A and B are shown apart, each in its own frame.
Chain A
């Protein structure tokens, strides 16, 4: 019994690559998830949150509010015109913007609700809720709710001089209670407008389908791409090289097969989501078809590229597990990108997953059509990634897999 155990342990610790993968994969994932959930460093440390503000009022009062918000430790205010700010939300770059509409000074003077407005992406409910909660209290403190409530009471008394003292006292108490609750974060005090409204396709459903489909596709295509290494080990590659077929044709044939399998897998995934979870694909068929092709092309190229690095299938498997999990994590397959810290969101652009998932969001959440420049840009990036990886794979395969002795 102990001899068996000793033998197995000797084999396990003798396999340096296996040992590295056993430790490297979980360590890499622990690190990434810690960063993704913002858990790195001491818990009491807080970082500034960027708030996009569109100042439509452009008065001394609005400028003072913006300046005082910016002076708070927890916020970094970025001012920009309304249409630019709205565009950031529509594109998915920001979850929420604060708009200061015209009439701030008057509303403060008259005791009316200030013309603040939150415009947000309903897909990012969690992030929007946190930002709203943090902003409302500070905004109310800055505009001075005590003064407004007093002016509201005065206004009410002027408009209702004949009311009996008991009823008047009750109304005064109600006004004060309302303002107090506003300070504590009652979001009815500030108007909220979704720039991208709730839809039949929930963000959770889109994320689940797109994120999972892309991640699993990557695993599948790496296996397909690595089949050329199997062919080398089994001798069929050598036999192919004896035939009149050119080495480039062998690789391109592999790539075509991998692309077809990728498209097939994605189509089945979205059909499944349509049939079982009512994902509305019928209204987005042209854009979805192109996005599936672009994703399949980028993912299959990535799979073939990874395989081109290695000399054996075992080496590909070890490497691909780590690379795909890391890429899926930073690319938003596991956790939506907007929930990650800024530096991880910046890293996401190096991941195929990110461009694919954002593209599917564009289609199902933002209702973008094929002619929309944002969707076209995402598709273009995927095709560019695919083309670059394919060329690199061709070169590497010739150096590694096609080296026959």
Chain B
């Protein structure tokens, strides 16, 4: 059996070739360019890997109406990777035990209690920016 070609050919990215810091976002000096909005599936997520960071990876979500949210990729319940969950409305369901997490705040939906750290994220001109500082 032959493998088909892997890669992102099916999803061409409009990202500028050199992804340097974006100086013109005044007052938000630590906002950094991540990827094109179209690099994130609608009602889906991508992962920013942070192999040496004690808190681990960050998940960046895209809602049906093209807003983006960045949350620590670790469910406050048992550490499940939120990036792998089903996204609905402004929430994600953790793939391990189905806790619902509010993307805007990182808070678990009541009656569950817990919070995954959230980070600033926004879309401008089709490009996603996040602030992990």
- Chain B binds chain A: no
Listed in ascending order, the chain A residues whose CB lies under 8 Å from chain B are none
Listed in ascending order, the chain B residues whose CB lies under 8 Å from chain A are none
